[in-house]
Structure 1
């Protein structure tokens, strides 16, 4: 059998097996879950449960930076959201069984959770979620763009619902840009510990959530759900807190010890905020070579060539291929000092070979040296 045909057949068998397991679970447990009582939740459908919690005093910042959201964004339109799902992948057999939303209202924070108690109620469950988001709010999530939103769109289409996420801020991407070098993993749990200063006590690990839900389906024991609800609730609260921390950071970067200055400077410059150059400079002065190289490139692009040259010269002792290349370009094209340009090109070639640079970079240096040799020879 051709490989493509074998792959297709294995996929069909896997989907059939998952479907059989799900159907058996439905048959064994559906009668019990219809009579389910969940503390703190009220039943709003045959299979859907709902709880609402108002937390006074959790309010939005008076001012936002304009670097994450439009400067005139109304915080009332923000909807923090998170899903708990039957699997950790976005495969066809994965569905959401718990959806949470957080929003600012009346001087506090409204936290809402929708729970699906069994497979047959998925369409009903998604219908309630669709009603909640039909006003097209500005979504805020953590890894929601690639996972949560995608999953809702896919599962919604299977039941005739359309979910739109045209306005969506995913804090995972900005967290990675700011803190990946400093903290490593940018999972929400690690960001909580390293950035928010939050240590969850007795929390159910997110990786254990799917199996806990399956255990509930087998037993209809509502007690198995309490840790899931608690974990999910904290995810939404952490998401809200992280957004405010980021806004505070961008409004007054110097007032936060959380910022990695190079990453912060680079992000600010990417958003057109000239303060970024100051933070790259501060990082360079603290010994961050990469920050100096990025700052010199920024200065070059903004026609501040004299300042860029000063930086390149200050970094020349590091024998970095990129710095040597910039100096070779400068002396060749601006000063027409071909002998000096050749010197830096040769240093760059040696540095590239020592550091294991790509063959294309090595060839570029060789080509540059040959061109400069010809220019030098033509002068005599």
Structure 2
């Protein structure tokens, strides 16, 4: 980049408050202008082509996949079914694509020079995939050297016409990083659209934290989606490979990073499909604990009918999923002031071998019998059970605290006084 061009970029920042400079106009560089692209033929052999803009360039790779292509347990065409399912549902859910067509979602991932925030962390790869003309189109925009962010973001933003991006932990990391880097070149490139955002990391944590110790995308791929990576470059090596590329310009290492990023993006498409089938109840391989987590999620967002419909499927057995489901349904009945139903469900929960569940159910039954059903003898009975169980519940500090234990004893003393004054209530 010429010195004159660099000075022109600084003009808007040097103007006084009372004399605001006019926004700088940038024109694309004619293709006839000679800009050297190291190893250009090698890049083009791998379907990576230069994009020239503002006397600089970035690199763009584009790959098309047929919808019949399989990635993990699903084909890409199953994503169309997932969007159709949401459009048939009346459920309000954070991952719902109701009102969307498949081409309005894009699956987005970045590669950066570090995991920290702020302007010191550079994005060197912007990748995304979307459904267009009955195929999946994957594009990757590569920063060939520091200072080429204007063509990088220009190429990324010039044709963006999507409603919602789909990421994995993108709300906390990827998209804030994009906003930070875009801010540095915002006077020279289009504005960032006001996208909606589906972050699949939070969904994966809700549904599979009971069985996965780690929730990295690569773990979810292997354990849940059936995606097997072969000769994949670990993500933590990507920054080192990029710095090496900056130094020697050789494409080989970066081509491995592109493949790693490509699998990440395609797995987002598969993961969204799988989550939709789980949430809509069409996954025939769904486990009982997964069904419970789906029902609990519906309950948490206020979709009470959907929660009851989902959780009731689990109440016909005496396993952990059944007791957990009855617990959620009991609290829902309590909110509805259906005291008899809440009582019956809590009575079922106390058959659980889980001391924490048992304790919580006894405490709730003591409250219901004392305040709602006016059976003080039963209230004393379950209060005593809760006091005894509190000594066994040592793995749930949120449930059993010194204050809660003191509260139980005060409750017991109050019940004794009530029984003494009104023995007929027993």
Q: Does 1:87 align with 2:119?
A: no
Structure 2's unaligned 5+ residue stretches are 1-34, 68-75, 395-399
Q: Does 1:251 align with 2:277?
A: no
Q: Does 1:214 align with 2:243?
A: yes
Say which is worse superposed, 43-52 or 366-375, in terms of deviation: 366-375
Say which is worse superposed, 117-126 or 169-178, in terms of deviation: 117-126
Equivalent pair of 1:82/1:236 in contact (CA under 8 Å): yes
1:229 maps to which of 258, 267, 271: 258
How far residue 183 of structure 1 moved from its aligned partner, in angstroms, is 2.4
TM-score normalised to the size of structure 1? 0.84
TM-score normalised to the size of structure 2? 0.76
Equivalent pair of 2:163/2:195 in contact (CA under 8 Å): no
How far residue 158 of structure 1 moved from its aligned partner, in angstroms, is 2.2
Q: Distance in 1 between matches of 2:238 and 2:381?
A: 61
2:376 aligns with 338
- Post-superposition Cα deviations, 1:229-254, rounded to whole Å, max 9, x if no partner, equal 11111111111111112222233346
Return closer, same or farther for 1:131/1:360 CA change in 2, 3 Å cut-off: farther
Return closer, same or farther for 1:290/1:143 CA change in 2, 3 Å cut-off: same
Q: Does 1:148 align with 2:174?
A: yes
Q: Distance in 2 between matches of 1:234 and 1:212?
A: 18
Equivalent pair of 2:167/2:200 in contact (CA under 8 Å): yes
Structure holding more helix per residue: 1
1:158 aligns with 184
Equivalent pair of 1:78/1:103 in contact (CA under 8 Å): yes
1:197 aligns with 226
1:355 is paired with a residue of what secondary structure?
A: coil
How far residue 333 of structure 1 moved from its aligned partner, in angstroms, is 1.1
Q: Distance in 1 between matches of 2:194 and 2:376?
A: 55
1:111 is paired with a residue of what secondary structure?
A: strand
Q: Distance in 2 between matches of 1:375 and 1:33?
A: 90
Q: Distance in 2 between matches of 1:71 and 1:278?
A: 20
1:287 aligns with 319
- Post-superposition Cα deviations, 1:176-207, rounded to whole Å, max 9, x if no partner, equal 11111122322111111111111111111111
- Post-superposition Cα deviations, 1:73-96, rounded to whole Å, max 9, x if no partner, equal 122211111111111232431111
- Post-superposition Cα deviations, 1:262-306, rounded to whole Å, max 9, x if no partner, equal 112212333516343344344452411333322221232234432
1:168 aligns with 197
Q: Does 1:297 align with 2:324?
A: no
Q: Distance in 2 between matches of 1:207 and 1:165?
A: 30
How far residue 332 of structure 1 moved from its aligned partner, in angstroms, is 0.3
Query: Cα RMSD between the aligned structures?
Result: 2.3
1:52 is paired with a residue of what secondary structure?
A: strand
2:209 is paired with a residue of what secondary structure?
A: helix
Q: Distance in 2 between matches of 1:217 and 1:348?
A: 65
1:252 is paired with a residue of what secondary structure?
A: coil
Aligned pair count reads: 348
Say which is worse superposed, 135-144 or 273-282, in terms of deviation: 273-282
1:74 aligns with 101
Equivalent pair of 2:105/2:162 in contact (CA under 8 Å): no
Q: Distance in 2 between matches of 1:33 and 1:346?
A: 82
